[in-house]
Amino acid sequence: MLTAARPLACGVIVGGPAFGQNRRRTPPSRWQPMKKLILSLAAALGISPAAQPTPSPAEQAVIVQFRYGSTNLDALFSAEDRLEAAIAAAKAGEFDGHEIAMDGSDGTFYMYGPDADQLYRAVEPVLKAIPFMTGAVVTRRYGPPQDGVKTVVTTIDR
């Protein structure tokens, strides 16, 4: 169980700088010699771009938007643990993390797997048992995050 680093693992740094702020970018021209070296080494080892594994098919998603109403994140972390356990038990995918407003007013859970319906069936009983999930909006996405992908939107009722 993670403690102090947990908010970082969940994708939100409360009160920290926005992602990408204070980061220096190296001009692409500085990386060209390194890229050539790596490609030369790969070629010497018999590795070519064609030999790289093909990406897996786009994963489906279950995204839950909810009202939270607190800056105390204990209940949120408890909900995450329960969702992770349900997903693992069903072998339905993975819990990817959360986003939470800095004032704790609302948040979003992100879960991914090969079958959005199976994933939702695994987590639905858990979602319905969590008090702050009443009225949450669940989006099942059947493909990559792009226009035209089928989605089904439902609301959690108790």
Q: What residue spans define the domains of the chain?
A: 60-155
Q: What is the dihedral of CA 12, 14, 19, 22, to 10 degrees?
A: -150
Distance of alpha carbon 61 from alpha carbon 142, whole angstroms: 7
Residue-level pLDDT at 30: 53
Residue-level pLDDT at 26: 38
The β-bridge relationship of strands 106-113 and 151-155 is unpaired
Percentage above 90 pLDDT, the chain: 58
Is pLDDT above 90 for 106? yes
Is pLDDT above 80 for 78? yes
Comparing C-alpha atoms, which of 51, 58, 155, 61 is closest to residue 117? 61
Residue-level pLDDT at 77: 96
What is the CATH architecture of 60-155? 2-Layer Sandwich (3.30)
When comparing pLDDT for 23 and 70, which is higher?
70
Average pLDDT over residues 130-134: 96
